Amino acid sequence: MLVLALDTATPVVTAGLVDLTADGSWPSVRAARAHDGRKHGELLMPAVLEIVAEAGVTLADVEAVVVGCGPGPFTGLRVGIVSAAALGDALGVPVHGVCSLDAIALAAAGEFPPSERAASPGNLLVTTDARRRETYWAVYDPAGRRLTGPSVEAPVELRERLTELFVGRAVGDAAFAERLGLEIGGPASPPPDGLAAAAAGVLLAGSEPAPLEPLYLRRPDAVEPTGRKRVTA
């Protein structure tokens, strides 16, 4: 199954073509682009066209679309979700949303064989930038199964709970390493194979996609005005 994987939940704009096999083995990436920047709207579709050309296929060959639904900031996150929905509708293929942190966790867990995962000293923390001096985070077991989260809070508050969360390893945004008191490895953003792996069960089962629901985890900055401002003294 040829899967188009997209994510705009972080500052990294990700697009990839992934082969998902029926035996459930780890997805293989045919072509991928990861642009580090905040121009999600300008970067995403050119990246999609680039990977299709690089793989020597057409968009009509895509059999499913997977998109990261966050958590992430409002504007960037909606670019990926709306683009995925539009592509799915145009191509007549299912569109599945996944938690972007799940994709990072599965990719990180997939770097280690099962024997090493079993010997892991603790759980896996995934952390990404939520801006406003906060982090989006979730905790996973060594196999990449989510145990708690996703949540958003200040790193200093999360640091106080790392022991009770039994965190032994962290991946994601390395900018939080000092504030969390942890060494943070990669991947820093959701890779295409991790996105496909997060949706592999429903994709291979042919399940109907659930509605695409963005994970904001907090209210937007903009609020409706409560009344008209006086312009005269």
Planar angle of CA 180, 185, 191, nearest 5 degrees: 120
- 2-100+190-205: which CATH number, 3.90.480.20, 3.30.420.40, 3.40.50.970, 1.10.238.10? 3.30.420.40
Q: What percent of the chain has pLDDT over 90?
A: 79
Q: Which fold has domain 101-185?
A: Nucleotidyltransferase; domain 5 (3.30.420)
pLDDT, tens digit, 9 for 90 and up, residues 164-195: 999 999 999 999 999 999 999 999 999 999 99
Host H or E run for residue 98 = strand 95-98
Question: CB under 8 Å, gap of 24 or more: what pairs does 46-51 form?
Answer: 47/13, 47/14, 47/15, 48/4, 48/6, 48/15, 48/83, 48/87, 50/15, 51/15, 51/16, 51/17
Question: How confident is the model at residue 74, as a pLDDT?
Answer: 87
Start-end of CATH 3.30.420.200 domains in the chain: 101-185
Q: In sequence order, what are the beta bridge partners of 152? A: 136
Q: How far apart are CA 139 and CA 151, in angstroms?
A: 10
pLDDT, tens digit, 9 for 90 and up, residues 88-114: 999 999 999 999 999 999 999 987 656
Start-end of CATH 3.30.420.40 domains in the chain: 2-100+190-205
pLDDT, tens digit, 9 for 90 and up, residues 27-42: 999 999 998 877 888 9
Q: How far apart are CA 137 and CA 172, in angstroms?
A: 9
Helix (H, G, I), strand (E, B) or coil at 151: strand
